[in-house]
Amino acid sequence: MNYRHDIRNIAIIAHVDHGKTTLVDAMLKQSKVFRDNQVVGELIMDSNTLEREKGITIMSKNTAVLYKGVKINIIDTPGHADFSGEVERVISMADGCLLLVDSVEGPMPQTRFVLRQAMAKGLKSIVVINKVDRDNSRIAEVIRLTENLFLELATSVDQLDFQLLYASAREGIAVSKLGMKGKDIFPLLDCILEKVPPPQIKSGPFQMLVSNLDYDSHKGRIAIGRIWRGRIAPRDSVAVLSSDGTVTHYEIGEVFTYLGLKRMKIEEAEAGDIVAVTGLEEVSIGDTIASLDLPEALPRIEIGEPTIEMTFGVNTSPFSGREGRFCTTRQLRARLHGELETNLSLRVQDTDSPDTFLVKGRGELHLAILIETMRREGYEFEVSRPEAITKIVDGNLVEPVEALTIDTKGEYVGVLTEMMSKRQAQLTDMRNDGHDNIRLEFHIPTKGLIGFRSAFLTATRGDSIMNTIFLGYEPWRGEIVTTRGGVLVASEPGIAVIYGLNNAQERGDTFIEPGTPVYEGMIVGMHARLRDIPVNVCKEKKKTNIRSSTSDIAVKLTPPIIFSLEQTIDFINNDELVEVTPENIRLRKKLLARAQRLRNIASLRRSIKA
Ligand SMILES: Nc1nc2c(ncn2[C@@H]2O[C@H](COP(=O)(O)OP(=O)(O)OP(=O)(O)O)[C@@H](O)[C@H]2O)c(=O)[nH]1
Ligand SMILES: [Mg+2]
């Protein structure tokens, strides 16, 4: 067996926000892959617009640094559980991982998930206790909890032997012993060179697994992955082995490797390296690219199943086609199917209605990011409330169940446990750090989490953090009675005016500004009681000859509640939809005409009685 001593391949994994991308910043900046005067900013790898806006990593990405003559290929991964499909698919490119653990939060649900993945792939772990600069860090306790996690997850004894470092990614320093004064990130890079095994090279003709795809308007599709065997050069003839067993022959266009933020064109790459190649028109993630001499497929990447689903349909509101560039069924279908190429944990199915597709994902955020991306590209469509995906296993109905971790304060524990029990959650653990910081852990069916996030933020006044992670399927626990209040529904089309909105505000909280065009059946507000209430927000004050008193003219409206896209998805009920266009996000009843809704309720009542 041969080794590439000039290369290391590592994946950076952790729970959301524990500092992965910030650590990559430090490695890139200090290893001088940028020109001295180059302005590079922060969270450099979070290059996608939505990533920058939200401050989270959504897609995993490759980069590399040169250190002491060795190229360290780095894979930055997302930490949010909804994007864990990304971690599953790229982790196989690496031989080692940096597991980051926040010095205050300690191991979190996603820490366990990604470490289990890394262990299953046999990666060598380096644990980095990050954010040691934080005032309230509790390093000894965090180390103990991390060790417990290793004891629980290790599949062999040598996996228990991990290297420990302490870092402040933000300050760009790492040290190997607690209490040492750090000055740079190099102790971490040295540790990678020493502890992460160099890639092994199997002898034989070229073979590479495609772990990622990119697209370039000039170069076309770009396949990214690790070379397991042999070497590759521009104009080589190769076979692409796809999942259905078909073998297609291509000529490689160009070959690139990574350094910093650049892809560098090279004349030849060898086993052990991570490369990007062009020239393959039809190639998917999970395919093997191999030499024609020995076209053998590598094991495909296995990715966990989606847990929630919602429909994406052509916009059927009276405003349809006004604001979007792509509004037809054909365009919607093509866009959704195109997404499947890179968004591996997503599924798209046809439904009974030709204008509606069932889209399945890993969580509400996973689907919300897709919706937001499409809307910005100019798509207009409507989506339904997300539902947990149930299955029949051995004749029994089962549903997805998740572990929910809540970090909160003592004063909210009562209200939270009450909310949880209505949602069929079971308390599995509760810890108090002695400073009134309380961590609650629950097992909860996924259906109980839908609509929970906004209620949670309201109940705890934005003062608490929640995280979830998929556990598995368990027997169906029965329906949950939803507790959301009713909504204020526009009874007339037109333009909302102050007078009409002011009247509506006597019934509840409103969602729109004066001047907003509305249609009958559009949801313009909410109220505490269960029933929906029709309101005419377009109603003008009757004109009279008598001058109205000044108090009458200066009507003061309460500012509207403006939901984010995620909040609207979380908010709507089964008989409601979210209308998404590049310019607006509107909430509506599925049945727009009030008479129709009333008939529907009456017929539902009759069928229940019968
Ligand atoms: N105090 C402190 N804050 C840090 C440190 N490292 C990162 N942060 C902050 O933590 C937040 C999250 O950092 P990111 O690097 O985006 O975390 P991440 O793990 O890449 O997050 P995801 O990719 O979304 O999972 C940012 O506000 C960082 O500035 C650190 O060493 N100390
Ligand atoms: Mg990140």
- Percent of the chain's residues with pLDDT above 70: 97
Centre of ligand 1 from the C-alpha of residue 170, in Å: 7
Among 13, 15, 21, 22, name the best residue to mutate to test ligand 1's pocket (greatest count of ligand atoms within 8 A of Cβ).
22
Q: Measured from the CB, is residue 130 less than 6 Å from ligand 1? A: yes
Residue 551: per-residue pLDDT: 46
Which segment of 190-199, 389-398, 409-418, 426-435 scores lowest on mean pLDDT? Answer: 426-435
- Is 70 exceeded by the pLDDT of residue 37? no
Q: Measured from the CB, is residue 79 less than 6 Å from ligand 1? A: yes
Residue 300: per-residue pLDDT: 82
Q: Measured from the CB, is residue 21 less than 6 Å from ligand 1? A: yes
What is d(CA 78, CA 46) in angstroms, rounded to the nearest whole number? 10
- Residue-wise pLDDT for 396-405, tens only, equals 999 999 999 9
- Residue-wise pLDDT for 365-388, tens only, equals 899 999 999 999 999 999 999 999
Q: Mean per-residue pLDDT for 465-472? A: 87
- Residue-wise pLDDT for 492-504, tens only, equals 999 999 999 999 9
Helix or strand holding residue 353 (H, E): none
Q: Residue 402: what are its φ and ψ, rounded to 5°?
A: -125, 155
Question: How much is the mean pLDDT over the chain?
Answer: 91
Q: Which atom of ligand 1 is nearest to the CA of 80?
A: 25
The band of 257, judged by pLDDT with boundaries at 50, 70 and 90, is very high
Q: Residue 357: what are its φ and ψ, rounded to 5°?
A: -120, 145
The band of 603, judged by pLDDT with boundaries at 50, 70 and 90, is confident
- Is 60 exceeded by the pLDDT of residue 412? yes
- Is 50 exceeded by the pLDDT of residue 550? no
- Is 50 exceeded by the pLDDT of residue 549? no
Q: Which atom of ligand 1 is nearest to the CA of 169?
A: 31
What would you measure as the largest C-alpha separation in the chain, in angstroms? 97
- Is 60 exceeded by the pLDDT of residue 548? no
Q: Measured from the CB, is residue 138 less than 6 Å from ligand 1? A: no
Of 574, 590, 584, 460, nearest to 511 by C-alpha is 584
Centre of ligand 1 from the C-alpha of residue 60, in Å: 16
- Residue-wise pLDDT for 331-363, tens only, equals 999 999 999 888 888 999 999 999 999 999 998
Residue 13: per-residue pLDDT: 97
Centre of ligand 2 from the C-alpha of residue 69, in Å: 27
- Is 60 exceeded by the pLDDT of residue 394? yes
Centre of ligand 2 from the C-alpha of residue 80, in Å: 9
Q: Mean per-residue pLDDT for 237-263? A: 92
Supply 68's token pair. 């002491």
Centre of ligand 1 from the C-alpha of residue 257, in Å: 27
Q: Measured from the CB, is residue 85 less than 6 Å from ligand 1? A: no
* pLDDT top residue among 40 and 23: 23
Q: Is 138 exposed, middle or buried (0-12, 13-18, 19+ CB in 10 A)?
A: middle
- Residue-wise pLDDT for 82-118, tens only, equals 888 889 889 999 999 999 999 999 998 889 989 999 9
Residue 496: per-residue pLDDT: 95
- Is 80 exceeded by the pLDDT of residue 460? yes
Q: Measured from the CB, is residue 62 less than 6 Å from ligand 1? A: no
CA distances from 294 to 1, 153, 239, 289 (A): 19, 37, 9, 11
**pTM, rounded to two decimals:** 0.86
Q: Measured from the CB, is residue 313 less than 6 Å from ligand 1? A: no
Q: For residue 12, what are the contacts with CB-CB under 8 A and spacing of at least 6?
A: 20, 23, 24, 74, 75, 76, 77, 97, 98, 100
Q: Measured from the CB, is residue 128 less than 6 Å from ligand 1? A: no
Q: For residue 157, what are the contacts with CB-CB under 8 A and spacing of at least 6?
A: none
Residue 544: per-residue pLDDT: 65
- Residue-wise pLDDT for 269-308, tens only, equals 999 999 999 999 889 889 999 999 999 999 887 777 899 9
Residue 528 CB neighbour total at 10 angstroms: 9
Task: Looking at the CA of 134, name the nearest ligand.
Answer: 1
